[in-house]
Structure 1
Amino acid sequence: MREEEADRGGRVRGQGRGDQRSTGWQTGRTFPSPTPAPSGGFSPRRSGGSPRFGEVLGIRGAARAGGAGDRRSRRLPRDAAGAPARGERPPVGSPCGWWLLLLWSLPLASGELCAPLARGRLQCLQVSVFANRSWARTDGLARLGELQAYSWSDGSDAIRFLRPWARSGFSEPQWERLQQILRVYRRSFTRDVREFVKMLRLDYPFEMQVSAGCELCPGNTSESFFHTAFQGKEIMSFQGTHWVPAPDAPSWAGRATKELNQDQGTRKTLQWLLNDTCPQFVRGLLEAGKSELEKQVKPEAWLSAGPPPGPGRLLLVCHVSGFHPKPVWVMWMRGEQEQRGTRRGDVLPHADGTWYLRVTLDVAAREAAGLSCRVRHSSLGGQDIVLHWEGSLSSPWLIPVAILGSLLMSGCVGCLVLWCRKRG
């Protein structure tokens, strides 16, 4: 057992004792090995008569992109690429197809489902702002684990690939097809949502947020998630085979989920996207981006004192910086006892892709001696960094001694000046 120690103001990038902690994980459905798709398109395994990607993206917006799974849609004339011919527009239905298209317009949303394989989580976030009936914008990003790999801005029809390996999940023809779907989707998205607003009698302005994706878990299994929020509050999610309103969602969310659940074809397609295609896509990305995703950088840690919270009190600050990957455990301790008053800040990014964390403890000055900050991180090989707060540096008599020393120094300087003047 070895511990790296430093006094207040010291810095350590080292090793010590410790065990890695991880949160619980859930196993989901087992997924088989990927099935290669024919060149030029997205082809799911034919399980239970699942429709093709271009045939069942859902109501309206998806229908324009390549077909419809909604019972009220009709077949439209299509160009050579399979998109609706110019000037053709499907009949108006309830505006829900854009949720499905979102999942793959930004390969993708949130939640730690399988902590041991957190880097295998494909997370998509979309924010759509509607100021009024005539102004709206939609932006999004997608991350694999903690690395942002894709972005999509309101001013562009194209997905931006932010990592060299980000294209590896699909073939070039599949990405081209996806870009085409996005272009069609952008033309219909705003109109669809506004019709949804009209149907549910909602008021402007508002924001909608969508979080969707999947995560690989131990045991060759996966977990999926798809959540929709209105004004930052979750209103519904896709659970297994159906849309379910959130427990504290407004009453109109129930109407919306009831309408969504009438479209059986779209629900089957969503299951396929989340449970089959998404895990296969993630596995390809994990292999392509392995060197970056598995990078380990040891943290640097140091202690300092923050602004005093009050008379006779100290704010102890433990800084942890430059670590990768993001998960880290930091706690103020007294011996082996965790201090309940420990306050953890946000984990903030550095420009080089590493992270920074600040953890504080408000304590009476007379009780600061004997406290330490303990840091656990995967890069430390099971060894902790332990930084001890030096009690002598924070003793109550330190301030009076410092003041007395300053007065003595000032007196000496004054005497020296007077002596020099007399001799001059």
Structure 2
Amino acid sequence: MLLLPLAFLSALRGGDSVEVQEHVLFHVIQISSFANRSWVQNLGSGWLGELQTHGWDSAQGTIIFLHSWSRGNFSNQQLTNLELLFRFYFSGITQEIQEYSSQLQFEYPFILQADVGCELYSGATLKSFFQVAYQGSDFLSLQNMSWVPAPEGENKARRICDTINQYDGIKETVHKLIRSICPQFTWGLLDAGKKYFQRQERPEAWLSSRSIYGSSLLLLVCHVSGFYPKSIWVMWMRGEQEQLNTQQGDILPNADGTWYLHVTLDVEARDAVGLACWVRHSSLGGQDLILPWGHHPSMKLILLAVLLALMLPIALALWFKKHWRRQWLSLENPALSL
């Protein structure tokens, strides 16, 4: 089985924990798709919380830094050592699995997933993890210094754990990676990306609606987008009374790293007047953003504006035609101008 080289880790900084002020998660996700004995695709990505910070170029065997601060405070040499470690891991794990797939009872095609990382808490506490899934189900994990099969893995996972638990070098390398290097790198990311994470982006909000087919209800939608940080409060209100049947969707990421959210409210069309969408966010300086329903152009006003826009050129054309006709007639018959 694969023995990860401890030499690659010797150049990386030591230490067991990092002091942080809040809960922080950094983890690396691996997805390996084995189509047959000769074709495999390895995908890798690094995530700080819900923000992707790194990718993996499987063709070049190199780390992709998705932000200017994604290198953290590690030196080029430390990052090169990590890159070599990941390259060796992907190459070795692929070779080992393909060679022993029949003994491991892996039936092609199959997918292996790994989630590796650390969670930092205030008070310098640390939780680290290395979890592996097979075909989307929990398979095995590293607990302290032993590989432990998941109940879903049954005998297949137990046999693999019995085998790889014999290789102390693998366990020591992984243990150092998640207990020492991961928290150091995470703290460096937070420090390097301080300005990025402390920025404040004001939300933009707008309203829309649609009739609910087969009923007299109206679905009111309050869209809020472009805000950062993620924490936000959005509610349909009548005066200062919260409408408890407000439904909030998931907070979704925008391409620029900001967030989007919509909240909806089912209401009788005749009762929509007097409602408003309230938005509270740290970027607003304590001033709620309030969008009253009915203070946006109705469909009748929109249609009227469209008709005016269409009629204006026609009216101008008729005026010019009449004007120039009179001018022309006056030139031909001066008496008409008297």
Q: Do the structures match in fold with TM over 0.5?
A: yes
Name the structure 2 match of 1:26. Answer: none
CA distance in 1, matches of 2:99, 2:228: 45
8 Å Cα contact 2:246-2:263 kept in structure 1: no
Name the structure 2 match of 1:361. Answer: 265
Superposed displacement of residue 152, structure 1: 0.5
Name the structure 1 match of 2:92. Answer: 188
Name the structure 1 match of 2:68. Answer: 164
Deviations 1:326-380 (A, max 9, x none): 3434344565445346140450313x33222223334443454554434343333
Q: Does 1:216 find its partner at 2:128?
A: no
SS of the residue 1:131 aligns to: strand
TM-score normalised by structure 2 residue count: 0.71
Between the two structures, name the one with larger relative contact order (CA 8 Å, sep ≥ 6).
1
* Residues 332 and 230 (structure 1), Cα distance of their counterparts in 2 relative to 1, 3 Å cut: farther
CA distance in 1, matches of 2:199, 2:158: 45
Deviations 1:186-234 (A, max 9, x none): 4323222224532331222122222221232222333323332223333
Alignment gaps of 5+ in structure 2 = 13-19, 312-338
Deviations 1:154-181 (A, max 9, x none): 2221112222222233222222223333
Deviations 1:214-266 (A, max 9, x none): 23222233332333222333333334444444455555334444444454553
* Residues 258 and 357 (structure 1), Cα distance of their counterparts in 2 relative to 1, 3 Å cut: farther
Report the structure, 1 or 2, having the larger strand content. Answer: 2
Deviations 1:41-90 (A, max 9, x none): xxxxxxxxxxxxxxxxxx41xx2x526xxxxxxxxxxxxxx69xxxxxxx
2:5 to 60, 66, 73: 66
Q: Does 1:347 find its partner at 2:286?
A: no
Name the structure 1 match of 2:201. Answer: 297
SS of the residue 2:108 aligns to: coil
CA distance in 1, matches of 2:64, 2:155: 38
Q: Does 1:236 find its partner at 2:140?
A: yes
Q: Which amino acid aligns with 1:291?
A: K
Q: Which amino acid aligns with 1:284?
A: G
Q: Which amino acid aligns with 1:344?
A: G
Between 150-159 and 307-316, the greater mean CA deviation after superposition: 307-316
The 5 A counterparts of 1:403-418 are none
CA distance in 2, matches of 1:145, 1:383: 28
Between 122-131 and 341-350, the greater mean CA deviation after superposition: 341-350
* Residues 345 and 175 (structure 1), Cα distance of their counterparts in 2 relative to 1, 3 Å cut: closer
Q: Does 1:199 find its partner at 2:103?
A: yes
Report the structure, 1 or 2, having the larger helix content. Answer: 2
CA distance in 2, matches of 1:371, 1:237: 52
Q: Percent identity?
A: 43
CA distance in 2, matches of 1:125, 1:135: 20
Q: Aligned residue pairs: how many?
A: 295
Name the structure 1 match of 2:219. Answer: 315
The 5 A counterparts of 1:77-226 are 117=22, 120-195=24-99, 197-226=101-130
Between 284-293 and 161-170, the greater mean CA deviation after superposition: 161-170
SS of the residue 1:229 aligns to: strand
Q: Which amino acid aligns with 1:231?
A: Q
Deviations 1:277-302 (A, max 9, x none): 21122122222221112211121122
8 Å Cα contact 2:137-2:152 kept in structure 1: no
TM-score normalised by structure 1 residue count: 0.59
